[in-house]
């Protein structure tokens, strides 16, 4: 069998025209047809074609979303996008989703066959370099299944990133486990800054590279910290942030779980598909709040939204910056209808010094009350 091809287009006459263009190409064989994105994804799994010719505008699921799913589930398959003039923005999104090439309608038999051969040859080289094998799954030792803990709040200023950084650092210090910190706050992520690590690479570079994601590829983008912690940083410039898809986040977290004991995710302070994917993948969602009315109101709304997303059972309420001012913990519990899981004492002086030095306080001042609060949180979560 030569190069196997699936055609995905909602117009039957277009599929027939493409088959006619390929009829005399002895090294190219059409093995399936799809009329929408769902069928394309299904056929990709069922038939494992070498190349899929994907129309952008299809019903039920468009070509962009189908491309995202296929490049995640079937990394050996190359996608060629079929488009018409004037769809440049769609083409840009499709290439960001993982498409290897595009063709503008109408195209000749030679243009089509040359494109198929070119992307096939390039895909074979890429598969070989990345160790991707078609339809083969590795058997043997069981894969590591690490725990995913997300730190979240849609209320700015509650100390989300500070807690995420120090939680990850505490696990490295005490548990001597493999820990990775993922900064999904693409527009304003500061996790690397709080660790005094220059973000020479970031999660957005994964999108720009447009490669299939496996651990060998992903590891290149993990920044090392002197403690042993690894960081998948947010970019300094959030360009391309709109292309951080839920599928990519889901795949990244899945791979990290297989290679680390703990995956700590700093989830952005707003609801997005990418952020929700991280929350769904988490064993624990640490929902932070302070003792002021604004924070309490926002947390109550977050609880309602997370319940609608069927994620409320994962939520652990963390009272951060606890002091004798503001609402009493008992009043907060009554308002939210849920117990506070753990509290982190307020220590502005230690936090500000820690942030300015780029040294997590659990490492720089392990005996401080705020550091002991984080250690107690780890114990309550049964981490270590």
Cα Dmax for the chain: 81
pLDDT tens digits along 118-127: 989 888 877 6
pLDDT of residue 36: 87
pLDDT of residue 144: 53
Compute the distance between CA of residue 352 and CA of residue 261 in angstroms, rounded to an integer. Answer: 29
pLDDT band at 27 (very low <50, low <70, confident <90, very high): very high
pLDDT band at 17 (very low <50, low <70, confident <90, very high): very high
pLDDT tens digits along 343-378: 999 999 999 999 999 999 999 999 999 999 999 999
pLDDT band at 142 (very low <50, low <70, confident <90, very high): very low
Compute the distance between CA of residue 279 and CA of residue 126 in angstroms, rounded to an integer. Answer: 32
Q: By three-state DSSP, how is residue 25 classified?
A: coil
User: CATH 3.40.50.300 residue ranges in the chain?
Assistant: 147-380
CATH tag, 3-130: 3.40.50.2300
pLDDT tens digits along 280-315: 999 999 999 999 999 999 999 999 999 999 999 999
Tokens describing residue 116: 């198929």
pTM above 0.85, yes or no: no
Tokens describing residue 15: 């599929």
Q: Where are the alpha helices (DSSP H) in the chain?
A: 12-22, 37-47, 63-73, 88-97, 109-130, 160-175, 191-194, 203-209, 215-219, 246-259, 273-280, 293-308, 329-336, 348-357, 361-364, 369-380
What CATH fold (topology level) applies to the domain 147-380?
Rossmann fold (3.40.50)
Mean pLDDT for the chain overall: 87
User: CATH 3.40.50.2300 residue ranges in the chain?
Assistant: 3-130
pLDDT band at 62 (very low <50, low <70, confident <90, very high): confident
């Amino acid at each position: 069998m030569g190069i196997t091809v699936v055609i995905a287009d909602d117009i039957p006459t277009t599929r027939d025209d493409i088959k006619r263009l390929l009829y005399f190409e002895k090294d190219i064989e059409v093995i399936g047809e799809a009329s929408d994105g769902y069928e394309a994804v299904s056929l990709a799994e069922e038939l494992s074609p070498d190349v899929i010719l994907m129309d952008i505008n299809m019903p039920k699921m468009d070509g962009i979303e189908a491309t995202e799913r296929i490049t995640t589930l079937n990394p050996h398959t190359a996608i060629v996008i079929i488009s018409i003039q004037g769809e440049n923005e769609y083409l840009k999104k499709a290439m960001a989703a993982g498409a290897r090439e595009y063709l503008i309608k109408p195209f000749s038999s030679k243009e089509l066959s040359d494109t198929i051969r070119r992307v096939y040859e390039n895909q074979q080289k890429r598969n070989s370099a990345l160790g991707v094998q078609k339809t083969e799954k590795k058997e043997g030792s069981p894969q590591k299944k690490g725990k995913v803990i997300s730190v979240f709040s849609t209320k700015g200023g509650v100390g989300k990133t500070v807690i995420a950084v120090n939680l990850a650092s505490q696990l490295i210090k005490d548990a001597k486990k493999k820990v990775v910190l993922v900064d999904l706050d693409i527009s304003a992520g500061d996790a690397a800054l709080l660790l005094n690590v220059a973000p020479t690479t970031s999660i957005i570079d994964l999108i720009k590279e447009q490669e299939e994601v496996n651990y060998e590829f992903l590891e290149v983008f993990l920044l090392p910290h002197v403690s042993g912690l690894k960081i998948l940083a947010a970019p300094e410039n959030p360009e391309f942030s709109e292309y951080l898809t839920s599928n990519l986040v889901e795949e990244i977290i899945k791979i990290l779980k297989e290679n680390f004991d703990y995956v700590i995710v700093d989830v952005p302070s707003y609801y997005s598909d990418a952020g929700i994917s991280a929350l769904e993948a988490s064993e624990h969602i640490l929902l932070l709040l302070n003792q002021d009315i604004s924070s309490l109101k926002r947390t109550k709304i977050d609880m309602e939204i997370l319940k609608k997303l069927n994620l409320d059972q994962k939520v652990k309420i963390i009272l951060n910056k606890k002091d004798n001012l503001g609402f009493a913990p008992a009043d907060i519990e009554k308002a939210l209808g849920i117990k506070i899981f753990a509290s982190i004492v307020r220590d502005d002086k230690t936090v500000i010094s820690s942030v300015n030095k780029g040294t997590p306080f659990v490492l720089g001042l392990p005996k401080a009350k705020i550091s002991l609060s984080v250690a107690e949180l780890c114990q309550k979560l049964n981490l270590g």
